Chain A
Amino acid sequence: MDLFQYDFMLRALVGALVIGLAAPALGIYLVQRRLALIGDGIGHVALTGVGAGLLLNRSPVLVAVITATLGAIAIELVRARGRTSGDLALALLFYGGIAGGVLLVGLSDASSASLNSYLFGSLTTTSPGDLITILVLGVAILVTMLALRPALFAVCHDEEYARVSGLPVRALNLLLAVTTAVTVTIAMRAVGVLLISALMVVPVATAQQVTRGFRSTMTAAMALGLFAAAAGVWVAATADTAPGASVVLLAIGSFLVVALVAAGWRALRRRARPAGAPAGEPHEHEVVLR
């Protein structure tokens, strides 16, 4: 694998691995609270930050982190209100974000290729400085998600119970919103704002086909994210495909394979069961096959 003798490929690989590990570790909480597409929405908002950064000649990633964080906090505040109009407010934020991004990038001197690199990722142009940003923030996200797992699990599983447990529910929700924004912006370099949500959600969806608990789902999802990132970068390097798209397609491919295998396994098990056993929820006295 002499491709990885080039520094830029090595940087691409390390960046992708960190993101492949961190994105599902955060994504599992978003999936658990049925906010699977929030990463996508925040990605749209981050694009306005990119546009503003390019226009002002400031670091687009840095401005995107700030913009996405503000957007994420706004979304969380709307969500916490729990009004039906929240749906519409989110739509306004999402489309406002992407339209603002396209407009601002157009106003700046940047080419449409540079817009593309943020929309769909540009892993191979990761600079040493970018890599350090990805490493530091990625590790911070991972440590936070793992260390606070019991509390974040409780908040995402049953918010009212978490409040009666005296947990700082509002602070934890804001923390999740902010880490989502940070994950989106560091992953922007790897897979682009339009594909980032896939890395947060698809490995979790794959893992929960076969897992029984939250912790095992989290571990499996992180392993799957790591695999998709490594294999995706390798495929991109050998077949000269777009890295971001390769990573995401591999993640979706694993989902399909695992879903098929799990369905086949369940069908086999059902056949092994005595005839007439009721399907669906096991009853009080029913023996559960393991």
Chain B
Amino acid sequence: MSVFQVEHAAVGYDGRPVLRDVSLAVAAGEVVAVLGANGSGKSTLIRAVLGLVPLSAGSVTLFGTPQRRFRQWHRIGYVPQRLGAGSGVPATVAEVVASGRLARRGLLRPPGRADREAGAAALRAVGLADRAGDPVATLSGGQQQRTLIARALAGRPELLVLDEPTAGVDAASQEAFAGALRGFLDGGGTVLLVAHELGPLRPLISRAVVVHEGGIAHDGAVPEPAGHHADPDHEHVHPHCDEEPAGLWSM
């Protein structure tokens, strides 16, 4: 049975189509990277899977249940691209990670020992156990990203969905992240991640989906990066314009 299934999905913002007729099924144990240029619709695709953007056509099925009726959200761990732009009130790393238990615990039940243990284990998995009491705002970008991954792992999900987890993240954090992901996969997890660069994640990816102009241009083996992106020292941090070469990830 597939973990999730997208069938003929279309998404539009203000009448402008972003995804058109996209179909994708991911089975348990797969590690799927969604690749593509900025503005290709790759982030929209995973947001549609999670129900964060409404479909204008087609359907999404999560763990065999139509998304509209899906309630077992604890089976999914979501890692957004970054922490909301520095919220007004300080929060410790442990407090942010504790949010990851809400899907399991529900609205009213106060956190118990199992919740605290899962939070601590998730922080250990991303190598931030010693920072649990620190305000997240004092962490580096990579450490904040690891905090968000720990939050998702704390819920002990079956499917991990990550939006550009390695964008602008330092090498140490990328390695820590790859390690955490390996641990999650050893436990039988399924991963869907959006990436611009694969970096140290490349050996973990079992399947690549390239999104181009709102459609799926490639679905299969991980393509070799082309042009200057192939340079191992290439740091992908420059801002992208809409006119980015479309064939970046094409075979």
Given A208-B89, A213-B95, A214-B92, A150 and B52 contact (CB-CB distance below 8 Å): no
A161 touches B135 (CB 8 A): no
Given A208-B90, A214-B89, A150 and B134 contact (CB-CB distance below 8 Å): no
- Which residues on A sit within 8 Å (CB–CB) of B236? none
Query: Closest CB of chain A to B107's CB: distance in Å?
Result: 5
Query: Closest CB of chain B to A153's CB: distance in Å?
Result: 7
- Which residues on B sit within 8 Å (CB–CB) of A215? 95
B50 touches A164 (CB 8 A): yes
A150 touches B99 (CB 8 A): yes
From A156, A157, A163, residue with most partner B Cβ within 10 Å: A157
Given A150-B102, A164-B73, A157 and B91 contact (CB-CB distance below 8 Å): yes
Query: Closest CB of chain B to A15's CB: distance in Å?
Result: 27
Query: Closest CB of chain B to A219's CB: distance in Å?
Result: 12
Given A33-B88, A161-B99, A211-B90, A281 and B138 contact (CB-CB distance below 8 Å): yes
A163, B76: Cα distance in complex, Å: 11
- Which residues on A sit within 8 Å (CB–CB) of B110? 150
Contact of A214 among B52, B95, B108, B140 (CB under 8 A): B95
> Chain A, interface size: which category?
35 or more
Decide if A283 is an interface residue (CB 8 Å cutoff).
yes
B84 touches A165 (CB 8 A): no
Contact of B90 among A34, A166, A213, A281 (CB under 8 A): A213
Given A164-B73, A208-B90, A213-B95, A283 and B52 contact (CB-CB distance below 8 Å): no
- Which residues on A sit within 8 Å (CB–CB) of B108? 147-148
B residues 126-140 near A (Cβ < 8 Å) are 133-135, 138-140
Contact of A31 among B89, B91, B134 (CB under 8 A): B89
- Which residues on B sit within 8 Å (CB–CB) of A153? 91, 95, 99
B71 closest partner in A (C-beta) = A166
- Which residues on B sit within 8 Å (CB–CB) of A208? 88-90
Decide if B199 is an interface residue (CB 8 Å cutoff).
no
A residues 1-47 near B (Cβ < 8 Å) are 28, 31-34, 36
A159 closest partner in B (C-beta) = B84
A262, B133: Cα distance in complex, Å: 19
From A28, A148, A160, residue with most partner B Cβ within 10 Å: A160
From A213, A283, A288, residue with most partner B Cβ within 10 Å: A213
Query: Closest CB of chain A to B208's CB: distance in Å?
Result: 24
Decide if B74 is an interface residue (CB 8 Å cutoff).
yes
Decide if A55 is an interface residue (CB 8 Å cutoff).
no
Decide if A158 is an interface residue (CB 8 Å cutoff).
yes
A148, B173: Cα distance in complex, Å: 33
From B51, B90, B108, residue with most partner A Cβ within 10 Å: B90
Given A161-B78, A284-B140, A288-B138, A32 and B107 contact (CB-CB distance below 8 Å): no
Decide if B170 is an interface residue (CB 8 Å cutoff).
yes
From A150, A161, A215, A284, residue with most partner B Cβ within 10 Å: A161
Query: Closest CB of chain B to A70's CB: distance in Å?
Result: 25
B80 touches A165 (CB 8 A): no
Contact of B92 among A31, A36, A212, A281 (CB under 8 A): A212
Decide if A204 is an interface residue (CB 8 Å cutoff).
yes
Decide if B96 is an interface residue (CB 8 Å cutoff).
yes
- Which residues on B sit within 8 Å (CB–CB) of A164? 50-52, 73, 76, 78, 103, 161
Decide if B36 is an interface residue (CB 8 Å cutoff).
no
List residues of B whose CB falls within 8 A of some A CB.
50-52, 71-74, 76, 78, 80, 83-84, 87-92, 94-96, 98-100, 102-103, 105, 107-108, 110-111, 133-135, 138-140, 142-143, 151, 155, 161, 170, 172-173
Given contacts A160-B52, A164-B52, A281-B139, 17 further A-B contacts (CB under 8 A): A32-B87, A33-B88, A148-B108, A150-B99, A153-B91, A157-B91, A164-B76, A164-B103, A164-B161, A165-B102, A165-B155, A168-B107, A212-B92, A214-B92, A281-B140, A282-B139, A284-B140
List residues of A whose CB falls within 8 A of some B CB.
28, 31-34, 36, 147-148, 150-151, 153-154, 156-158, 160-168, 204, 208, 211-215, 217, 281-284, 288
Q: What are 13 contact pairs spanning A and B, CB under 8 A? A: A148-B108, A156-B87, A157-B84, A157-B87, A158-B99, A164-B103, A165-B99, A165-B103, A166-B71, A166-B74, A212-B90, A213-B94, A284-B140
